[in-house]
Structure 1
């Protein structure tokens, strides 16, 4: 039997809307999704603001696409990226696309690619508008890329605020409604639920769900931080969980 290959991905980067400091971490994340067969980055390379990205082009094997900003306030990179994406889409060579941007202008592009039956992964900052995040099969925040830091107890204040981990991470308790909703969607009368199914249902409804947002490497780690849930090894060695409330 032929060996299965990694999904062939087309990675398109909007240099104006994602900081270059995340470049290496972005491609480490892409490697977990498939093979980055195309690595294109779009921007006006005559502009000083893209110097940091320009320094990374050769090291990361990027193809820099020049898009001159002929009109102030108009982002020519967006149009160039969309044109390339449609060309690559119609080539039929790819299993999925990775759109790296925090710009909602790519919402329709993501939807169009998915209509063609291909996966679309978005990567951008937490400020990315919801419309673009929801148009992707999965959306990954660049702030989650890299080593996660443990949650620390905050000093009591006169007006308590939700606990946050360093780097703007959410407290694990914020994820409870998502987990409970997934369990109810799987089986309202069930007791034990497969963690694989829970994760699948959460990401289907919330493409930007990422356990790293809550300071946990995996869903099992996140749920073990929450006294509301019990996690154990089930039949076949698969992890399962239940709501103990």
Structure 2
């Protein structure tokens, strides 16, 4: 006689639960406490553990630091509550962090001795752990890096499966957020164009993460990856009626003038940004543009490579991508011009004298936008234009700027 289903249920649920636990990916988490004190103060580890729970089972939790240091002593209780093993590292030399070496040794030890661990999460701050990340990837492990946004993190994240910004040291401006969104949308389009076929959303997102491991649609203001893709007019997102899976493909044309969203002005701004991208004009933040401009102004007669190198050295926040976009804008606005040649024949660049940076850049940008709008049959709305501009203009000044941009457009097309 068969056992009634109700009688089997508790045992079945128990076995199913145990099996699901066994099947989940194993994760090891390592934190270099002294490099991430601000992140710890803002409940960083707790939030990270919550995010990691969606990936698998966290079986190793280790936090490294000199626990005799008053700056980190206050974190012990909370880390202990979260289940971390606290690893003490005494620093015999002032300002030298021996935790980096101990953490590296332990990570490799766990990777060799516990092969079941598939994910290694390293919250390490500004230390350059790229060789360790690459070694773990060579061993077939998935690596998540955690740290503040900085030029160093931009180079480290290429060695990770995914990179998470601690997010407490930097708040993106509206223009910077639009620039980051523009980059992400461009990346999605490039991957679909290279694939030349319809892709499942999971495949598309994995492709984006393989190029930019820090990509996260929520950081750009979207609730889901589907919402992010639906905001890109050149991409069509569809759901298979049979298995309910979602796919994405490039549309035959880019209806840049379409208003997908309820807010017409926001939709026009996004359309303008995409049209500018077609004209090889990539947006960047006012901060990046001003910093690179000031650096080039105070260091004339330099190659682009030298300007980029100096910008990386002087700025703790600008990434190589931001610096490069700022340089391109300065060159295409004719703010940065060739002023000579080195002995090796390399172009040397200097800032054009006596100009208004914001107005010059805005006029050059609008001239390209007007050309793209005419080609695509997209209307020009002054209110939407203001959101793109670097400068602040009253109605009269905006009219003059539009006239200047229109004259530049006519000259370029003559």
**Secondary structure at 1:183's aligned position in 2?**
helix
Question: Matches of residues 1-245 of structure 1 in structure 2 within 5 Å?
Answer: 5-18=23-36, 19-20=39-40, 21=42, 22-93=44-115, 94-127=117-150, 128-143=152-167, 162=175, 164=177, 172-187=181-196, 190=197, 192-234=198-240, 236-244=243-251, 245=254
TM-score (normalizing by structure 1):
0.82
Q: Is the 8 A contact 1:12 1:99 kept in 2?
A: yes
- Structure in which a larger fraction of residues adopt strand: 1
Q: CA deviation at 1:45?
A: 1.0
User: What is the Cα-based RMSD across aligned positions, in Å?
Assistant: 2.5
Where do 5+ consecutive residues of structure 2 fail to align?
A: 1-15, 255-414
CA deviation vs aligned residue, 1:121-175 (integer Å, no higher than 9, x gap)? 112222252232111111122329xxxxxx99x6xxxxxxx2538xxxx663332
C-alpha separation between the residues in 1 aligned to 2:194 and 2:74? 45
Q: Is the 8 A contact 2:80 2:86 kept in 1?
A: no
Choose between structure 1 and 2 for higher RCO, CA contacts under 8 A separated by at least 6 residues: 1
Q: Is the 8 A contact 2:28 2:58 kept in 1?
A: yes
Q: CA deviation at 1:51?
A: 3.5
When residues 116 and 193 of structure 1 are mapped into structure 2, their CA distance, relative to the original with a 3 A threshold, is: closer
TM-score (normalizing by structure 2):
0.50
**Secondary structure at 1:129's aligned position in 2?**
helix
C-alpha separation between the residues in 1 aligned to 2:167 and 2:195? 30
Q: Is the 8 A contact 2:91 2:97 kept in 1?
A: yes
C-alpha separation between the residues in 1 aligned to 2:238 and 2:56? 30
Q: CA deviation at 1:52?
A: 4.3
Q: Is the 8 A contact 1:136 1:207 kept in 2?
A: yes
The residue number in structure 2 matching 1:148 is: none
- Structure in which a larger fraction of residues adopt helix: 2
When residues 218 and 28 of structure 1 are mapped into structure 2, their CA distance, relative to the original with a 3 A threshold, is: same
**Which is further off, 113-122 or 3-12?**
3-12
C-alpha separation between the residues in 2 aligned to 1:132 and 1:218? 26
The residue number in structure 2 matching 1:159 is: none
CA deviation vs aligned residue, 1:8-35 (integer Å, no higher than 9, x gap)? 1111111122220212101111211211
When residues 163 and 85 of structure 1 are mapped into structure 2, their CA distance, relative to the original with a 3 A threshold, is: closer
Q: Is the 8 A contact 2:189 2:235 kept in 1?
A: no
C-alpha separation between the residues in 2 aligned to 1:25 and 1:7? 19
Q: Is the 8 A contact 1:233 1:240 kept in 2?
A: yes
C-alpha separation between the residues in 2 aligned to 1:174 and 1:65? 40
C-alpha separation between the residues in 2 aligned to 1:51 and 1:217? 37
Q: Is the 8 A contact 1:103 1:132 kept in 2?
A: no
Q: Is the 8 A contact 1:172 1:215 kept in 2?
A: no
C-alpha separation between the residues in 2 aligned to 1:208 and 1:175? 11
**Structure index of larger Rg:** 2
